[in-house]
Amino acid sequence: MFNPKRVIFEEAALNYEKGQELLKLFKNQDVEIKYSKNGRITGIPGKTDKEMFLEGKSTLVVGVRKKLDFQSCKPSAHYQLPLVSGCMGMCEYCYLNTQMGKKPYIKIHVNTDEILEKAGKYIEERKPDITIFEGAATSDPIPVEAYTGALKDAIEYFGANDKSLFRFVTKFTEVDSLLNAKHNGRTTIRFSININEAIRKYEHKSEDFQGRIAAAKKVSDAGYPIGFIIAPVFLDEGYEEKYYDMLKYTKSIMDNNNIMFEVISHRFTKRAKENILKVFPKTTLPMEEELRKFKYGQFGYGKYIYTNEEMKNYKEFFTKSISELWSKENINYII
Ligand code: SF4
């Protein structure tokens, strides 16, 4: 659970019951409280890139989502559901590091009802087709769920609408409040997993592998469709054995054969590398361009991926291992 060092309330949020409840809650804690009149977030300290990053990651903003238009979320969903932005985790390779600015604060919204109402309009527009919403496009929503209950509300909202589906992904484990939600099988919860060696080195403040599997088991037992994203996979010497052990452990705990796997090898862009080095100057992430193959990207951002030979072996290894423990049909993609 996210325990912020400071909480900034947008004044408009205090017009909502949820905003008042949260103000009361944080006033009773040893937390710095600030207010923002016009929605501009100021007052987060920090001089160096690292300080700004750490202070941003320790700040919770309680706001109102005014702009109700949703961003598209291709190819995995139709729309992003804007419940939360930012994440308390500090994964060195986080995709948010290039998107959230220098002070990546975590923002929650007190007007979940209005956000879901807007989702309802999008569903109506696309009928009779089904509309899929992604709840973790710009965040990991689990660590702030205890404050908002927004995921549970969304799960029940989509659970009651047979023209919608909902999905989100997490590296955290506080799922108990979701177990009795009326999801009707319409929400897929995906867990992003990795070997503990990678989690310890790079995924600071997130939960360990066994904890994530235990949480996945709980939501699976509660009837949710589930999936695993294995990412990023590092093709270091002897990686096969480590990842095979990880898969075997997963199989031993999960008695659900209906699990979808997405497997993503490590890759980086020049821009991401620059950002990572500013905040984590001593990172041990493997980011030597000369050891990788450059792949031109859609928007001018080329990526450095593993070489053809490495990718071929890696794809064969994961295809064989997942097929052996589950089946080939459980593989969504391996890239
Ligand atoms: Fe980013 Fe996910 Fe790590 Fe949070 S848990 S820092 S969203 S990669």
- For the domain that residue 90 is a member of, what is the CATH number? 3.40.50.12110
In a domain, 304, yes or no: no
In a domain, 200, yes or no: yes
* pLDDT at residue 300 in the model: 65
Domain holding 42, by residue range, is: 6-224
Q: Which residues line ligand 1 (CB under 6 A)?
A: 87, 89-91, 94, 96, 140, 171, 203, 206
**Considering its fold, how many domains does the chain have in total?**
1
In a domain, 295, yes or no: no
The percent of residues above 70 in pLDDT, for the chain, comes to: 99
The percent of residues above 90 in pLDDT, for the chain, comes to: 91
Ligand 1 probe mutation, 203, 204, 230, 285, most atoms within 8 A of CB: 203
* Mean of pLDDT over the chain: 95
* pLDDT at residue 281 in the model: 94
CB-CB neighbours of 89 under 10 Å? 22
CB-CB neighbours of 267 under 10 Å? 19
pTM score of the predicted model? 0.95
pLDDT for 243 beyond 80 = yes
CA 97 vs. chain centroid, Å, equals 12
Q: Tell me which DSSP letter residue 205 carries.
A: T
| Residue 229, beta-bridge partner list | 192, 262
CB-CB neighbours of 191 under 10 Å? 26
Ligand 1 probe mutation, 140, 173, 275, 280, most atoms within 8 A of CB: 140
Dihedral Cα 77, 199, 220, 253, nearest 10 deg: 150
In a domain, 285, yes or no: no
Q: How far is the CA of 87 from the centre of ligand 1 (A)?
A: 6
In a domain, 322, yes or no: no
In a domain, 110, yes or no: yes
